[in-house]
A and B are shown apart, each in its own frame.
Chain A
Amino acid sequence: MTLNVAVNNLNLAYGTYPALKDVSFLLDEPKIYGLLGRNGAGKTSLLSILASFREQTSGAIVIGGEAPFENAEIMQHVSFIFNKDYKDESDNVKESLEYVGRYRSQFDAEYADYLVKKFKLPLKKPIKEFSKGMQSALNVTIGLASRSPITIFDEAYLGMDAPTRDIFYRELLEDQSNHPRIIILSTHLVSEMDYLFDEVIILHKGSIVLQEDFESLVTKGSSITGATEIVDEFVRPLKQLNTQQLGNTKSVMVYGELSERDRKVAQQKGLEVGPISLQDLFIHLTEGDD
């Protein structure tokens, strides 16, 4: 079951501070969407509106054809997993999962148990005694096992060590291929997680910078390296993101389609054309006016 998410001219203001400005986008396929943005870009604000944790100031959001806020049918199908403080949680893992199962109709208890074992979570210990990493592991377990048609992970991996994050990514991919749904991953760990994204949405200072699929976005970025004068001439008509210079060698990151012909021309001139990572694209597309 796929619910789609249509956001139109969404605005959110905290008092006079505009957190989200005229945000519009459409998520209508069961894919993994990467939501990238700097600190304070508005990611969590946007996601909390999707999850009906708060209301927008103006603009429309429609999930599965209906407005989600206080809509029991829709809210039930949106899971919002974020960095939560479990310091008062005296329940244990078993109780916690049972509780979620009561309210999430698609919750898969067996799958949850499987994940608990994978993450090596103790079943009977009170959650407030867990390390931060284990709390996060429980959190993502709940997120994955709920199988909600719209599942949001907002930096849910905080505190997890690298091997645990690896398990999370692996299980996420596995479950997504068996039970495809809309998954939104909001993160700063771009270089670690980029291969997970089918589509990328970049949010900067409350506005959408781009929404594109991963492949075509990444191929739009190239690094041109070679002798300074030749590089300069070649990149002049292109959108330049970043420049580095070492002696007489210059390396420029450019953004925009480079045709086969362009590439051949570059090679003939002795320039090296290479790919740039999503992380680099992200950093340089969200720079400036800081």
Chain B
Amino acid sequence: MSTLFDHDKPIYLQIREKMEDQIVNDQLKEGEQAPSTNQLVSFYKINHATVSKGVNQLVEEGILFKKRGIGMFVAEGAKGVLVQKRKDAFVDDYIVGLVREADKLGITEKEIVHLIKEVKGSGSE
């Protein structure tokens, strides 16, 4: 059993998210072959069935597709789809929490914008 995973979220979901991350980060490009189920099982030491569940969800949503006899490949436009999905979830996942926390601490909107600019600025160095 691997120690790379959280106890809270179902493992198949975490496998799925790891692959999505790789696609969004351009580590796995469109048209490229994705790691096989076997490779994932061996690498993460996670059961076949669990891995398949996560991978199959990605296939169902059109992120990956199966080339018979060869393996799994990243679909055209997959990155776009994932980026959009994350953009849609951005507000819920990040903004809501940020605003709530800022309210708690008494940080104003103006200050938030200023902080964002600072972080962005130092990030680009």
Note whether A and B contact each other (Cβ less than 8 A).
Answer: yes
- Interfacial residues, chain A to chain B (CB-CB below 8 A): 169-170, 173-174, 177, 191, 194-198, 213-215, 218, 274-275, 277-279
B1 near A194: Cβ-Cβ < 8 Å: yes
> Which residues of chain B come closer than 8 Å to A198, judged between CB atoms?
48-49
Known contacts A195-B46, A197-B47; A278 and B1 CB within 8 A of each other: yes
> Which residues of chain A come closer than 8 Å to B36, judged between CB atoms?
177
Contact among B2, B37, B49 for A214, CB-based, below 8 A: B49
Contact among A170, A195, A279 for B47, CB-based, below 8 A: A195
> How near does chain B come to A126, taking the closest CB pair, in angstroms?
33
Chain B 41-53 per-residue mask, 1 if CB under 8 angstroms from chain A, else 0: 1100111111000
Q: Is the interface of A mostly helix, strand, loop or mixed?
A: helix
Chain B 34-78 per-residue mask, 1 if CB under 8 angstroms from chain A, else 0: 001110011001111110000000000000000000000000000
> In the assembly, what is the distance between CA of A194 and CA of B1, in Å?
7
A173-B38, A173-B41 known; 16 new pairs, CB 8 Å cut-off, are A170-B42, A174-B38, A174-B42, A191-B1, A195-B1, A195-B41, A195-B45, A195-B47, A196-B47, A197-B47, A198-B49, A215-B47, A215-B49, A215-B50, A274-B8, A275-B7
> In the assembly, what is the distance between CA of A114 and CA of B72, in Å?
26
B49 near A213: Cβ-Cβ < 8 Å: yes
> How near does chain B come to A44, taking the closest CB pair, in angstroms?
25
> Which residues of chain A come closer than 8 Å to B46, judged between CB atoms?
195
> In the assembly, what is the distance between CA of A92 and CA of B42, in Å?
31
> How near does chain A come to B6, taking the closest CB pair, in angstroms?
10
Tell which of A169, A215, A278 has the most Cβ of chain B within 10 Å.
A215
A169 near B38: Cβ-Cβ < 8 Å: no
Chain B residue at minimum C-beta to C-beta distance from A280: B1
> In the assembly, what is the distance between CA of A214 and CA of B1, in Å?
12
> In the assembly, what is the distance between CA of A170 and CA of B43, in Å?
9
B38 near A177: Cβ-Cβ < 8 Å: yes
> How near does chain B come to A226, taking the closest CB pair, in angstroms?
15
> In the assembly, what is the distance between CA of A277 and CA of B11, in Å?
13
> How near does chain B come to A223, taking the closest CB pair, in angstroms?
9
> In the assembly, what is the distance between CA of A194 and CA of B50, in Å?
12
> How near does chain A come to B76, taking the closest CB pair, in angstroms?
27
> How near does chain B come to A283, taking the closest CB pair, in angstroms?
14
Chain A residue at minimum C-beta to C-beta distance from B2: A195
Chain B residue at minimum C-beta to C-beta distance from A223: B7
A194 near B47: Cβ-Cβ < 8 Å: yes
> How near does chain A come to B27, taking the closest CB pair, in angstroms?
22
> In the assembly, what is the distance between CA of A194 and CA of B37, in Å?
16
> In the assembly, what is the distance between CA of A213 and CA of B50, in Å?
12
> In the assembly, what is the distance between CA of A169 and CA of B48, in Å?
13
> In the assembly, what is the distance between CA of A274 and CA of B10, in Å?
10
> Which residues of chain B come closer than 8 Å to A278, judged between CB atoms?
1
- Supply 28 A–B pairs (Cβ within 8 Å), ascending by A: A169-B42, A170-B42, A173-B38, A173-B41, A174-B38, A174-B42, A177-B36, A177-B37, A177-B38, A191-B1, A194-B1, A194-B47, A195-B1, A195-B2, A195-B41, A195-B46, A195-B48, A196-B47, A198-B49, A213-B49, A214-B49, A215-B47, A215-B49, A274-B8, A275-B7, A277-B1, A278-B1, A279-B1
> Which residues of chain B come closer than 8 Å to A195, judged between CB atoms?
1-2, 41, 45-48
> Which residues of chain A come closer than 8 Å to B48, judged between CB atoms?
195, 198
> In the assembly, what is the distance between CA of A173 and CA of B39, in Å?
9
Contact among B1, B8, B42, B50 for A173, CB-based, below 8 A: B42
> In the assembly, what is the distance between CA of A274 and CA of B8, in Å?
7
Chain B 1-23 per-residue mask, 1 if CB under 8 angstroms from chain A, else 0: 11000011000000000000000
> Which residues of chain A come closer than 8 Å to B8, judged between CB atoms?
274
